[in-house]
Structure formats: C-alpha cells, structure tokens
Chain A
Amino acid sequence: MASSAEATETSKPSTETTTKGAKIITLKISDEAIFEVEDSVAMEILVMVKSFLKDQSPSTELFLSRMYWPTHSHTFIEFCKEHIMLKACSTCLARLLLIGFRFKSVEYMRKFFGIENDFTPEEEGKCYVKNILGRVEDVDEDYLKFGSFRG
C-alpha cells in the first residue's frame, strides 16, 4: 500500500458497468494501487477533496492518505474499500434473500460465491451425514434432492 498516494488528476477514469447497472470509475493511485469504485463513491471522494482544498493552500500534489476521511478516520484506500465492502454486503444479502437461499443446495452456494470445493469425497460425505441428515422436523424436499453432492 503506498503511504503517500497522489490523486493523479490525470488518471484516466475508465468506466465499466456492474450487473446492477452502476457505473464503475477506475482510480489509479499509483502503479501498485488501482481501485475500481462505483460512481457514487467517486462522487463522495470528489466532495471531500474539494472541501479539503478549500481549507488548504492548493499545491500541485495532493496527498490523499493524509487527508482526514470523516468515516472512522481511515486512509483514502480504506475508505474506498469500506464503501465497496458495505455495498457488496448489502447487495449480496439482498440477492441471497431473492434467490431463497434456504432451499438452495450446497453446490448452488458454491457457484453463487465462486468457491471451490476443497473437500475430498469422503470428507464431504462425512460432513453431509453429520450435518444434513436426520433433522428434528420432517426432512425438506431439497435435502432429498441433494443426491449427488459431488456436483
């Protein structure tokens, strides 16, 4: 992580779109630090930089890491990450609710999160027997469909 990050006003923001339709701005802090942020985050950063500049005598170099970011007094990089993370969390939860995660199989959840199955078939079998079979209530239909967990 670069300790003195410059906001290169010359950084060319490139825009992509997420599946939700929000615009993505790419902020290049340095060759080692490139952040893709949603446009709402970029706008907030812009507002903060502007208010910072009002109070300081302007110089050609702007050390963003030394700015005081209102939320949790983090550095600029952490601010971006936090915003993205919070948004990711709420988006993820909303999508999980929409798909009705309770009735989804283990394999579906792996695909949803992009997780690799790192169990051996024996390990997975043991896990299945221990944690899935023999419920207190009647067994859900979904469990009965969970036939080949090797997916």
Chain B
Amino acid sequence: MKRVSLYSAEIIASNQDLLTEILIRIPAKPLLKFKCVSKQWLSLISDPKFCIWHACHQRVLNPTPNALLLNNFYSSTPTFQFIPLIGDDSSSYSQAAVFDYLNVSPNYRLKIKNSCNGLILCMSIFYGCGFDDAGSELKGIICNPTTKQFKTLSFPVPKFGNSKTYSSFYGLAFDPSKSHHYKIICLHVDYRVSKNPQIYLYSSRTNSWIFLQNSLEAPTLYGFVNGVFCNEAIHWCSYEQTTLYFDVNTESLKIMPMPPIFSTVNRFREMMYFGESRGRLHLARIGRRFIFGSDVWEMASDYSGWSFLYHVSLHSMKRAFPEQKFDTFSILNVLRAEKEGELKVVISVDSIAVSLNVFDGTLKMLSVLEPGLEFPVELGYEGHDAFQYFQSLVCV
C-alpha cells in the first residue's frame, strides 16, 4: 500500500521540482552554505541551469542591490570598500571586500569597471602608468564575488597608430531572464584621430571577441564613468547634447539625448553620477559645487528624453550634524522603489556614506569611507566609483 506522506518538508525534499521551487526563493549566500546538506542538494545548487533560474527569481524578489562596492585604487591586494544596503548586518561600519582569491600580481591594480546582476568586470592596470589603460596587453577579470568564481580575459588592443592617446570604455551586459550568457563591450576611441569608436564584443557563449564595423560618430564620452546596463543596452554618458548606447540585441551603437544641464564653461570639470535602478537610467551632477543640493534626472523608457526626478538636498544631514562643515559630496547610488514614498539615494558626504530618503529626509548611516580615492585631489575629482553588488550564484 502506498501512502503519500503529508509532512510538507519531507514531501519537498523527495521531489526535485518542489525542492527547486523552494530553493530559488532563498538568497544566494545561504544557498552556498546549504550545498553541504547532501549530495543531491550539492548537485542541484551547482547546476548552472538552476543558478540562472535562481538569479531570475531573485531579481524579482530582491531588486535592491545587497551592497555597493567602491574602487580603492591604492591598495595592493584588490580591496574594495563595501557598503551594505540591506538588513542590519553592518557589524562594523567600515567593511572591506578583499578579493585576494583573484591572484593579481603586486605590480598591478584591479579596478572595477562594471557590475551587472551579480557579475563584476575588473580591469587589471599596471600601477604607475596613471589611469590610462596603456600597455601592450589589456587584461580583465570577470568575477562573481558571491561564489568567488572568476575568469581572466585578454581584451583586444585597438588598431590605432599611436596607442597611448586613446580612451577605453567598457560595458557588461547580463540579464539572466533573457540569456544564460553575458557579453562584454569594449569601445576604444582616439578623439584626436576619429570620432568613430572601435567596438569589440565578447560573448561568454563563444568565449571569443568579435570586431564590429561601426560608422557612427560618437560624442565625447565622460571619462570617469563606464557603461551602465539597462533595458538590454549599455549606456555611457557624455558632456554634449547627445550620448552613446549599445543595443545588445542588434549589436549596434545608437545615439540618445543628454539632459541640457551642462554649462559650456566648466564642462570638463563637472562630475557625474550615472546609474540604473529598476530599469531606469539616472543622472546627477555631484562634487563640491553641488554641496547645497543636486537634481536627479531620469530617462524616459522610450529614450525620448530626460525629465527632472527630484532634488537631493543635504538639509537633513546639516540638521543631524549642525557643527559639521561639509566639504565633499557625491551620489553613490539612486534607488528607485515600487512605491513613490520610498525613493532613496545613497550619498557620501566627506567620509561617510548614508542612505537618504528623499521625501521625508530620513537618514540611515551606512558606512565610514576610507579616503583611498583613485585620483589625486588636484584633479578635482573627489567621487567614488560605486558599483551595485547583487548576491548571485551564476557561473562565470
């Protein structure tokens, strides 16, 4: 006689499909731990198809990033400042993510260029050559910080005459709900030679680079920000009236408008926040000049134009710290929410990072920041590059 047991957890455990339904709703970090439960669990949680399926669900269940990672260029071991955004597990206010498992040689520094849905792309830069990606070889690392899986890639060097004056822009495209594979875009452009960027595209499906023919002339891109993945395209920002984006599906470069906010005088000294949240692009000017507040702009979903979203002001910071005279200000992340009353901005003011609710002005202290900036202060760039970190199991 066969009796169907009704003890719910045992039913789940005996049925692979049901177990999968449960496990995809559990965040990545505890799942790594639960690989040790049994061989069946190890096999299931390690299956790349499960990992993608899990990532799709987690994107919907937990759309806020777990944390922000900030570049810290001066540290010899790849170390990035870590700002947790979820939960109260900030056991210390100054956390560092050490990527020592990446085995980077001591002459090189690792700089995060892009992050996308759980994966991050870092470039390995020979220390001492400044912030230019000069050198005979360009090496990058694509990494999943949750599983510590990584892959080293050789990036294509551009076909320019003088290889020292070009600029490179990168983008990482990964959407688990659309594809199991990720793509990396590499743009090389030498503005003194031509306004046509050279486009190289890597796909993890073929594990190879292709060179794409391009006739589109690019506006001058803003040098400190790398590509932002949003709605199946990689976007960069510029100082001009238009900027560039790369449509990952059609594999073509396109033009989109920039908001009309830059003065012609100080154009090249303006610092910008450019990022994505819940499928919308955001832009804001940051830096010392905006210590009294900054406007955040949001791009329309049909790319027709930018609109003013809200004004970030530091009133609540000043109320909380009345004696303090703030010197620097940067926006690290704009977090759109489903409900209107929950728009949050993660900002850094001097050496602290706080989460600011734009509507009611409430502050939440997040982290104390190390002053390990990437660029000498004389250059006037005082921001931090902040990258969204999502816990994920996806394979690299």
Contacts and interface: CB of A to CB of B under 8 A. Distances in A.
Interface of A: 18-19, 24, 31-36, 38, 81, 84-85, 87-89, 91-93, 95-96, 101-102, 106, 109-110, 112-119, 124, 127-128, 131-132, 134-138, 140, 143, 149
Contacts, number: 115
B39 interface: yes
B97 A136 contact: yes
Given A31-B1, A136-B145, A127 B95 contact: no
Contacts of A140: 89
Given A134-B101, A136-B97, 13 more contacts: A33-B2, A81-B4, A84-B4, A88-B9, A91-B8, A113-B9, A115-B13, A115-B40, A127-B36, A131-B32, A131-B33, A140-B89, A143-B33
A35 B33 CA distance: 36
B320 interface: no
Nearest to B34: A109
21 contacts: A34-B2, A36-B6, A88-B8, A89-B8, A92-B8, A92-B9, A101-B30, A113-B12, A113-B13, A114-B7, A114-B13, A115-B38, A115-B40, A117-B38, A119-B39, A132-B33, A134-B101, A137-B82, A137-B97, A138-B92, A143-B33
A137 B35 contact: no
A136 B82 contact: yes
A137 B36 contact: no
B32 A132 contact: yes
A146 to B, nearest CB: 8
A110 B84 contact: no
Interface residues of B, number: 45
Interface string B10-39: 111101001001100111011011111111
B374 to A, nearest CB: 21
B198 to A, nearest CB: 35
A33 B4 CA distance: 9
A60 B148 CA distance: 65
Contacts of A95: 8-9
Contacts of B145: 136
A57 B95 CA distance: 74
Contacts of A136: 82, 97-98, 145-146, 148
Contact of A137 (B6, B21, B42, B95): B95
B250 interface: no
Identify the 4 closest CB pairs spanning chains A and B, nearest first.
Answer: A88-B8, A113-B13, A91-B8, A88-B11
> Which of A95, A106, A113, A135 is the most central at the interface, judged by chain B CB atoms within 10 Å of its CB?
A113
Interface in B26-64: 26-27, 29-30, 32-42
A84 B11 contact: yes
A143 B36 CA distance: 13
B18 A88 contact: yes
